[in-house]
Amino acid sequence: QISYSHAIHASGFFIAFFASLVLTCAVLLIVYQTQILKGSFHSKNQELQHELVQNHKLEHSQFNSGDLFSEDTIMNDQIIDILSFEEYGNMLQALEDLEVASLTRADADLETHRVQICKEVIAIMMKNMVLSHSLFPHVEKRMSSIFKKQFLAMEKEIQEEYERKMVALTAECNLENRKKMEAQHQKERNANEEAEELIKKMTEKPAVEYRRLLDRLHRLEQDHLKRFLLVKQEEYFAKAYRQLAVTQRKDLHNIFFTQITNATFKGELKLDAAKTLVEDYSKVQGGIEELMDFLQANNKFHLNRRFAYREHLINKIQLRDSQASALINAAAIQISSLINKMERAGYLPESHSGVLLDRAEAEINSVKQKFNHDLKHEKQKLHQKLITKRRREMLHKKEHRKEQLSLGDPFSTTKEVTHYLSHWKKLLSNHTIEFEELTEKLDSEASEEFKELLFSLTEKTVEELKHVQYGVFVQELVKLGVPKMFLLEAVEEHKKDMVVKHEQLEREEHDKSTAAEELLHLTRQKLIQELETSLLEQKKLRSWEQSVFMQLLSLPLSLSEEELLRVRRELHCCFSQVDSSLAWPKIRGRTLLQTFEMEQRDAELLKVDQNLAVTDKQQHSKVKKPGSRNRNKIDILKESLQDKIFIYEDSVKDENLNKVSANL
């Protein structure tokens, strides 16, 4: 049941609706990131369908509790997952996926608030009619009961429609995925069969190299295809969500006008009272749309601000990782450099230096493996610590929120709709600000912890490599007759080089960090300007709406009261759609970018194949000896594979980003 006495108690349907949608996207994201789409795609689709059904059932029961912070807490854990478990090069992509999920979540929250506000506003208006003696109490009670039943029936109907859409979309996506992946696997099989024939004519080394390049190309092709399928499915579900949200908005208006018409026809509501109620409803709807416009723009600003800051933090972590790799590599290179220097000076026979270099490589690999193992282990420990801390602080914020709500219920304490809407605006704005401040604080602290962990392990690893150089190989070189003084001079020179390298890296990190801070500041200023601009543009649009509305109502049309109500209803249904969801532009942009990139990539790959055919034909006519012809063909094919790999690994081009912006 829906409780009118609690301003934050969300509609059961829309919470379940959103939860299922987010989990759908989340499961699809997991499919992409863990490469579940490999192998038998048919069985994987069945597994995915099962997970979707199970997750939907779980979330439906969980979020009927009306716990505002539950999903926020779970979703906020994901930034710690990214910092803990993602490869540094994949963090920004994972962050973008999280951003889409967060925007979708925010859309669902706003839709929940819209539905709840509309219901409670109607209830306030009905109570005010009783207070003004325009409606008998028993009639208000009966009409309120009917409203409640119709709202519940509407939610049930849309829930059923949602489930039908999800089943149909899931089946459609699975079929499309299976066809695309089967075509990709067939393409790979054909390429592998052709490669096997060529490999029979190759020596071992070129054959291994050719196989390695071909496998790498196939992995890249699969990764890009999976990414494309992911964003396409994301778009399908976003469209379905928007359609159902619009349907629910229209149904809310239809229920109100239908009930007013029925009550007037039965004589329960006087004609003058009905006119007053309808006019008040129209005025109130303007206030509701203005409130929702503000909340949407405000949420967009704060979410964009959050993810700009998170991108800034990830860039700083990636910078620290680059510095760590540079220091470790510098310390490792010094070991082989020391051995080579002794050989060039004539103190070390080539046979001894070869053995020492092999041993040095083994020692260095051992130290680096230990570093990677320790880093992974310590990250897991830090992950648990940060998650615990994060949830504790979120729980504290939740308790504080409950205290605030207990101080006053806007629905039960106000008789003015404007005061009620103002209370909602203040309540949700304050909540957003408090939540974003807490999130930014926790993100910053987590980032610093990961940076400190990386720094401490890097220092430890560099010291271990120094020990390998000074404590192992210097002693070994002394035993082999290298003059100790010459060794000490080389060691001192290496120590000075490490100090210089460290200082150089620190300066670079400082300069890049300063530039990143300036960029973050400019980004935040731009977001503030975008917020002001979007609010102003939407306000102008709403003013135009009101102007059109009043002009239509003032036209000298011969309409009955029932027809006039239908005109009002249709206008409200139209005007309630004059907005855009938070997630849709981002989701649509991702789909467009993937499409443009794929089209450009296909065109470039076609050129490579055409050039290969021309070159192969030319070589065939020039070279007479079969052995020489095979070698040339192998070299040409390897070069072709390398060109294709480069095309797939090439970064996103600015021209495609500009095309996306223009299209949006």
Comparing 255 with 132, the larger pLDDT belongs to 255
Report pLDDT digits (tens) over 524-542: 999 999 999 999 999 999 9
In the three-class reduction of DSSP (H, G, I as helix; E, B as strand; rest coil), residue 105 is classed as: helix
- Yes or no: say if 623 and 617 are a contact pair by the CB < 8 Å rule: no
Among 101, 100, 147, residue whose Cα is nearest residue 121? 147
496 has a pLDDT exceeding 90: yes
- Over residues 634-648, the mean pLDDT reads 90
CB neighbours of 354 closer than 8 A, spacing ≥ 6?
none
Q: For the ranges 167-171, 413-417, 452-456, 548-552, which has the lowest average pLDDT?
A: 413-417
The span from the CA of 88 to the CA of 574, in Å, is 47
Share of the chain above pLDDT 70, in %: 85
- Over residues 347-376, the mean pLDDT reads 92
pLDDT band, residue 402 (cuts 50/70/90) = confident
- Over residues 167-187, the mean pLDDT reads 93
DSSP state of 579: S
DSSP state of 90: G
CB neighbours of 152 closer than 8 A, spacing ≥ 6?
1, 2
Q: For the ranges 30-39, 152-161, 206-215, 298-307, which has the lowest average pLDDT?
A: 30-39
pLDDT band, residue 406 (cuts 50/70/90) = low
Comparing 154 with 21, the larger pLDDT belongs to 154
- Over residues 452-463, the mean pLDDT reads 95
Say what the pLDDT of residue 625 is.
57
The span from the CA of 650 to the CA of 180, in Å, is 23
17 has a pLDDT exceeding 90: no
The span from the CA of 562 to the CA of 278, in Å, is 12
Other beta carbons less than 10 A from residue 604's beta carbon = 15
328 has a pLDDT exceeding 80: yes
Token pair recorded at residue 377: 């282990």
- Phi first, then psi, for residue 218 (nearest 5°) are -65, -40
- Over residues 305-312, the mean pLDDT reads 96
First-residue to last-residue Cα distance in the chain = 40
- Phi first, then psi, for residue 409 (nearest 5°) are -110, 115
333 has a pLDDT exceeding 50: yes
- Yes or no: say if 229 and 180 are a contact pair by the CB < 8 Å rule: yes
Among 382, 393, 417, 176, residue whose Cα is nearest residue 287? 417
628 has a pLDDT exceeding 50: yes
What integer best gives the mean pLDDT of the chain?
A: 84
Say what the pLDDT of residue 318 is.
93
Amino acid type, 448: E
Token pair recorded at residue 358: 């092999």
Say what the pLDDT of residue 43 is.
40
Burial category of 65 from C-beta neighbours within 10 Å (exposed 0-12, middle 13-18, buried 19 and up) = exposed
Say what the pLDDT of residue 656 is.
87
